[in-house]
Amino acid sequence: MGSLMLDRREFVRQLLIDRGDLLVVSGLGSATYDVGAAGDHPLNFYLWGAMGGTAMIGLGLALARPDRRVAVLTGDGDMLMGIGSLATIGVKQPKNLAIVVLDNAHYGETGMQASATQAGIDLIAMALACRFRRATAISRIEDAAGIRALLHSGEGPTLINAHISSEDVPRVLPLRDGHAIKRRFIAALDANGRVPAPAP
Amino acid sequence: MPTLAESQASWPDAIYAHFRRVGIRQVGYVPDAGHSHLIKLCQADPNISDVVLTTEEEGVGLVAGAGLGGQRAALLMQSSGVGNCVNMFSLLRNCGFGCITLVTMRGEFGEFNQWQVPMGAITADVLRLAGFLTYRIDNAEDVDEIVGAGCDMAFDGDLQVAILLSQRLIGRKQWVR
């Protein structure tokens, strides 16, 4: 079964090639390691905790910066814990937000216990029911370029359910100091584009 | 003690004026009757994105995301919602995101529903343990000064500030409609 699924590292690497202005929020655990392994970048906001909150950080960022594209990369466990945020995002309809769920149907950090997606709980159906503009699955690496294009130009909100192999991969540990990650991100965003002034 | 309708006369406007003054651009909330007028003011403001949350902890993520994008955000919830947020609050402290949350109290003075009491009785302690500077308002005339100071501390100092709006302030919820 593993060979029919995506290699998570190669998939994330291809998603983040030539990323340009893309703002990236990664969920705790393997998603943060995958994003770090694709190449450290000041416009990565790595989470090491706050399970269930990744998609909502993406929403706050997407609302604050409608001029920029926001990609949330996270695992199925984090997405399931914050599943109500699909409804919250669906209400706001951020055109610039895409969520990529790296779905291995397991809790990888804690001993590979089965997650709800292994029992057929359908994230795509949930996203569509929450009025996401687009929700689609990917399981072949040949389709990664099309998903990458969606992150950069598709009209959101978008959810990508990426079926990844549950094989273990080496940990790649990016920056972990939360203050440093935040300050670096804000400084890079300031340098790249004007931060809107507060309301009068 | 005023009824809820009587108490909504002016203090929510004082809070909203501070939101405007410090440039709050996103407001996340799980509705509460005590926040109803303030929510309407925020919804009517084209400079504010109002975000109705399915659970209060989503609002903690919203605050962090807004901060990354250079915007200030506020959270409105009732005391029961504080309990829903506890682990997510670590995001604010770990990264130093400024946050102002206004918490309408239930489960205290004049409460008719004892199911509100266990969480209401520990709300202030939970916030302090989670790292919030926590202030309580009992009288409408204190709202302007305390909310103003709280907003300044939150956003000038990247601190987490909670302001509890007591049940005496917001008024007794009517048990029989």
- B46-83 pLDDT, tens per residue? 999 999 999 999 999 999 999 999 999 999 999 999 99
Contact A73, A34 (CB under 8 A): yes
What tens digit of pLDDT does each residue of B136-151 get? 999 999 999 999 999 9
CATH homologous superfamily of A2-192 equals Thiamin diphosphate (ThDP)-binding fold, Pyr/PP domains (3.40.50.970)
CATH number for the segment(s) B4-168: 3.40.50.970
CB contacts, 8 Å: A190 with chain B? 70
The predicted structure's pLDDT at residue B172: 67
| CB proximity B62 to A under 8 Å | yes
User: Looking at chain A, how many residues does it have?
Assistant: 200
- Tell whether the model's pLDDT for residue B7 goes beyond 70: no
Q: What is the DSSP letter of B78?
A: E
Q: How many CB pairs under 8 A join A and B?
A: 136
Q: Beta-carbon neighbour count of residue B146 at 10 Å? A: 19
Q: What is the DSSP letter of A148?
A: H
Q: For residues A25 and A35, what is the distance between their CA atoms, to the nearest angstrom?
A: 9
B93–chain A nearest CA distance, Å: 9
Nearest by CB: A178 against B49, B60, B95: B95
Confidence of residue A128 (pLDDT cuts 50, 70, 90): very high
Nearest by CB: B26 against A48, A53, A63: A63
CB contact under 8 A, A59 and B61: yes
Confidence of residue A120 (pLDDT cuts 50, 70, 90): very high
| Mean pLDDT confidence for A50-73 | 98
- Tell whether the model's pLDDT for residue A1 goes beyond 60: no
Q: For residues A11 and B114, what is the distance between their CA atoms, to the nearest angstrom?
A: 52
| Mean pLDDT confidence for A125-151 | 97
The predicted structure's pLDDT at residue B110: 82
| Mean pLDDT confidence for B10-27 | 97
CB contacts, 8 Å: B95 with chain A? 178-179, 181-182
What tens digit of pLDDT does each residue of B88-114 get? 999 999 999 999 999 999 999 888 899
- What are the boundaries of each domain within chain A? 2-192
CA angle in degrees (0–180, nearest 5) for B64-B70-B89: 15
Nearest by CB: B57 against A52, A58, A186: A52
Interface probe for B, chosen from A25, A63, A81, A93 (most Cβ of B below 10 Å), is A63
Which token pair is B10? Answer: 């002016």
CB contact under 8 A, B66 and A61: yes
A96: left (phi > 0), else alpha (psi -120 to 50), else beta?
Answer: alpha
* Rg (alpha carbons) of chain B, rounded to whole number: 15
Q: What is the DSSP letter of A80?
A: H
CB contact under 8 A, A63 and B70: no
Confidence of residue B5 (pLDDT cuts 50, 70, 90): low
CB contact under 8 A, A59 and B51: yes
Measure CA A142 to chain center.
Answer: 20
* Chain A residue set in contact with B, beta carbons under 8 Å: 23, 25, 45, 47-65, 82, 84-85, 87-88, 91-92, 178-179, 181-182, 185-186, 189-190, 195-199
Handedness of CA B12, B49, A46, A3 (dihedral sign): positive
CB contacts, 8 Å: B49 with chain A? 63, 92
The predicted structure's pLDDT at residue B171: 81
CB contact under 8 A, B68 and A84: no
Contact A166, A4 (CB under 8 A): no
Q: For residues A186 and A106, what is the distance between their CA atoms, to the nearest angstrom?
A: 33
Q: Amino acid identity of B157?
A: G
- Tell whether the model's pLDDT for residue A199 goes beyond 90: no
**Percent of chain B predicted with pLDDT > 90:** 86
Question: Is the predicted ipTM greater than 0.90, yes or no?
Answer: yes
CB contacts, 8 Å: B25 with chain A? 64, 196, 198-199
Interface probe for A, chosen from B48, B94, B100, B158 (most Cβ of A below 10 Å), is B94
The predicted structure's pLDDT at residue A168: 86
